[in-house]
Every structure is written in C-alpha cells, then in structure tokens.
C-alpha cells in the first residue's frame, strides 16, 4: 500500500509534516514527536527537503528511521532546483533502495536573489517533470509501467503503482484590491483567473501546472498553508472545473504562534492574516493565546472538512502538542474507535 490508497472517504486522513533536525537536541525532539504522533493518529508523515538538496542526508536519515522504527508510512519531499536529472535519478534510486515508496515532488525555491530561474537545457525545472522522472525510475525498477503517456495513465488509474507521488497545490488568492491570502509565492494574481463568486481566485498557470502534475502521474496534492477556507474551496472548485481529479489535501498550520505565522507568510510570500494576528497579539497570556489560536484553527479545519477535504496535513514544526490538541478538539467525533 502507498499513501495514495489512503484518501478514501468518509474518514479524513491525518498526516504530519516534519523537518529534518539540525542538532542532537532537535533530533531528540523530532523523534519524541514522531513516537507521540505514531501512538496517537497518524496515517503518514512527510519529511521536508532543504532548498537545493541542502538537507539531503538528514532528510533521508529521518525518513529511513521512520520506515525502520515505526509502522507509519512516510513521504520523502524531493526538490529539483540545483540538481541535474542524473543526480535526481540517483537520489530517487537511493530512496527506493532505502524502502521509500512515497514522494512529494516539488520544484523547490530558486537560489536566493535569482528572480527568473530557469533550469539548464535538458534538466528538470518543474515539479511535473520531476513526477515524470520518478515514474521513469519506478518503471525501470519495478517494470510494470509502460512509458508512453496513455499506458502510463491507464496504469495510474488502475492503481498498479509501486510508488505514490504527491505534489504541491496553491489555494486561491484574494481578488483585486485585497491582499493575497494563499497562492503561489512566485507571483501575483493574473487577469486570466478562473471566474467564480468567491473573493478568492486561483491563478490560471497554477491550474495548468497542477493539471500537468496530474497528467505526469501524480496521485494527490497537498496545499500551501492558508487562513480562510474560502481559498481552499476556490482551489477545489477551480481544479475540478479544469479536469483535475486529484485529492487536494489542505495543509494546516496550528495558528497558535503569531511570530511563526508572520515568518511563514514572509517566507512563502503570503499576506499576513490580519484578523487572527490581531486577536493573538491582543493577549500576552500564553495559555489564552494558545486557546484562541486553537479555536481559530478548529474553525478552519471544520470548514475545510465540510468543503470536502479528504484529510488534513498538519504542519507540526516538530512539536506534537499543538496538533494533538487540535485533533482532540476537532476530530474526536469523526474518528472511528
């Protein structure tokens, strides 16, 4: 079984993003988190991959430890910026040798200061091309896939895959005049956006990119963080209208730490969510702040589940308590005993 088998309604799939530790203390912390969550509710973990492969060995080590010491599946994030196609084939091969069968295929962020990054000719520069590369390595290793697009698609639909591939998706941006609240960090809203009643809209090029990832053989998508369920609903509606059938799993950040929210928004080019930040900033009592943040996240989670989200991918920042509190608050009634 791969992670793509997990998105079956009505039970929401619960998964967690981890990052590779940088210090021995961080290693202890991430492993405490893994064991706590594995004992709680965990359908899979995912482990991030530093820009240009900067955490390659620590990411792979954490992925391998999860495989070897827990029974919870794990997704290895993989980025293509900064690697040649040949190097990427080797990285994918090394993950497969280690027993990894689940990937999150990403472009990765361009090197700092490079505005219009493009890959060298013949190299891999888009997530959809990385999906294709992984499917090619899978075919070489496991032999079950035809390499022409039609048989690859047929194979994919019949689920005869040894490897599951997730990709990134980007919730809608606020319409003209409003600050963006989600969406791809690389640019603003274009006029060619999808029509709809929502105050959010999804960029046309993001839909084209997501469709290309699906056609290359992706199994599901995980979204960038967002703060309003309407942004997720817009992505869902626009994707379905564009023929994208992939399960779209909302990436959820527990909204308890205003400094972290600000930092992540800045990192990802997302506008600060004024309302929740204003409420969090208004209290100096950490317990009260946590209560308010969890309440806001609970409300967001309820709304995305009501919108049809097949699961929740929780950004843990290597700490279990925020996400377990959230699950207790929100999901107890939805989880089978």
Ligand X SMILES: Cc1cc2nc3c(=O)[nH]c(=O)nc-3n(C[C@H](O)[C@H](O)[C@H](O)COP(=O)(O)OP(=O)(O)OC[C@H]3O[C@@H](n4cnc5c(N)ncnc54)[C@H](O)[C@@H]3O)c2cc1C
- Please tell me whether residue 77 binds ligand X under the rule CB under 6 A: yes
For residues 42 and 3, the answer to whether their CB atoms sit within 8 Å is: no
**Rounded distance between C-alpha atoms, residue 30 and residue 232, angstroms:** 29
Closer CB to ligand X, 17 or 174, in the complex: 17
Stretch that binds ligand X, among 27-35, 204-212, 236-244, 279-287 (CB under 6 A): 204-212
In the set 11, 40, 126, 260, which binds ligand X (CB under 6 A)? 126
Q: For the CB of residue 79, give the shortest distance to ligand X in the complex, in Å.
A: 5
Task: Give residues 153-172 in contact with ligand X (rule: CB under 6 A).
Answer: 168
Q: Is 165 helix (H, G, I), strand (E, B) or coil?
A: strand
> Tokens 């960090």 label which residue?
185
Task: Give residues 88-107 in contact with ligand X (rule: CB under 6 A).
Answer: 106-107
- Please tell me whether residue 311 binds ligand X under the rule CB under 6 A: no
Phi-psi group of 217: left, alpha or beta (phi > 0 → left; psi -120 to 50 → alpha; rest → beta): left
- Please tell me whether residue 201 binds ligand X under the rule CB under 6 A: no
Q: How many CB atoms lie within 10 A of CB 199?
A: 17
Q: Strand 164-169 to strand 251-252: parallel, antiparallel, or no bridges (unpaired)?
A: unpaired
Q: For 84-143, give the DSSP string.
A: -HHHHHHHHHHHHHTT--EEEEE--PPPTT-SS--PPTTS--SHHHHHHHHHHHHHHHH-
Stretch that binds ligand X, among 25-33, 125-133, 280-288, 325-333 (CB under 6 A): 125-133
Q: For the CB of residue 112, give the shortest distance to ligand X in the complex, in Å.
A: 12
- Please tell me whether residue 181 binds ligand X under the rule CB under 6 A: no
- Please tell me whether residue 248 binds ligand X under the rule CB under 6 A: no
Q: For the CB of residue 114, give the shortest distance to ligand X in the complex, in Å.
A: 12
- Among 73, 80, 74, 61, which residue's Cα sits nearest to residue 21? 61
Side-chain half-sphere exposure of 171, counting CA atoms within 13 A: 29
| Gyration radius (Cα) of the chain, Å | 19
In the set 20, 21, 53, 108, which binds ligand X (CB under 6 A)? 108
Tokens of 240: 């379905």
For residues 209 and 126, the answer to whether their CB atoms sit within 8 Å is: yes
168 φ, ψ (degrees, to nearest 5): -90, 145
Q: How many residues bind ligand X (CB under 6 A)?
A: 24
- Please tell me whether residue 79 binds ligand X under the rule CB under 6 A: yes
Stretch that binds ligand X, among 139-147, 179-187, 271-279, 292-300 (CB under 6 A): 179-187
Q: How many CB atoms lie within 10 A of CB 92?
A: 24
In the set 205, 295, 303, 329, which binds ligand X (CB under 6 A)? 205
Binding site for ligand X (CB under 6 A): 48-49, 51, 77, 79, 106-109, 126-128, 168, 184-186, 205-206, 208-209, 212, 222, 224, 251
């Amino acid at each position: 079984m791969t992670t793509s088998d997990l998105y079956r309604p009505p039970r929401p799939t619960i998964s967690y993003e981890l990052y590779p530790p940088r210090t021995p203390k961080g290693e202890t912390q991430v492993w405490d988190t893994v064991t706590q969550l594995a004992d709680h509710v965990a359908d899979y973990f995912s482990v991030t991959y530093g820009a240009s492969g900067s955490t390659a060995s620590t990411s792979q080590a954490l992925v391998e430890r999860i495989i070897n010491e827990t029974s919870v599946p794990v997704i290895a994030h993989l980025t293509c910026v900064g690697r040649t196609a040949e190097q990427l084939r080797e990285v994918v091969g090394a993950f497969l040798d280690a027993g990894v069968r689940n990937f999150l295929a990403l472009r990765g962020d361009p090197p700092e200061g490079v505005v219009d990054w493009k890959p060298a000719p013949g190299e891999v520069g888009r997530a959809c091309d990385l999906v294709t590369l992984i499917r090619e390595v899978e075919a070489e290793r496991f032999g079950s896939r035809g390499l022409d697009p039609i048989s690859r698609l047929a194979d994919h639909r019949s689920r005869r895959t040894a490897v599951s591939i997730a990709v990134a998706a980007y919730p809608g941006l606020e319409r003209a005049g409003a600050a963006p609240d989600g969406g791809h960090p690389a640019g603003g809203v274009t006029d060619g956006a999808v029509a709809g009643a929502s105050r959010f809209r999804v960029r046309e090029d993001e839909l084209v990119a997501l469709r290309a990832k699906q056609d290359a053989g992706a199994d599901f998508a995980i979204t960038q963080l967002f703060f309003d369920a309407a942004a997720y609903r817009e992505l869902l509606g626009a994707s379905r209208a564009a023929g994208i059938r992939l399960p779209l799993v909302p990436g959820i950040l527990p909204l308890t730490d205003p400094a972290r929210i600000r930092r992540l928004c800045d990192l990802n080019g997302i506008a600060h969510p004024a309302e929740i930040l204003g409420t969090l900033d208004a209290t100096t009592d950490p317990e009260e702040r946590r209560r308010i943040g969890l309440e806001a996240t609970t409300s967001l989670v309820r709304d995305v589940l009501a919108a049809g989200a097949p699961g929740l991918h929780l950004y843990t920042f290597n700490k279990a308590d925020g996400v377990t509190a959230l699950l207790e608050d929100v999901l107890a009634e939805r989880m089978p005993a």
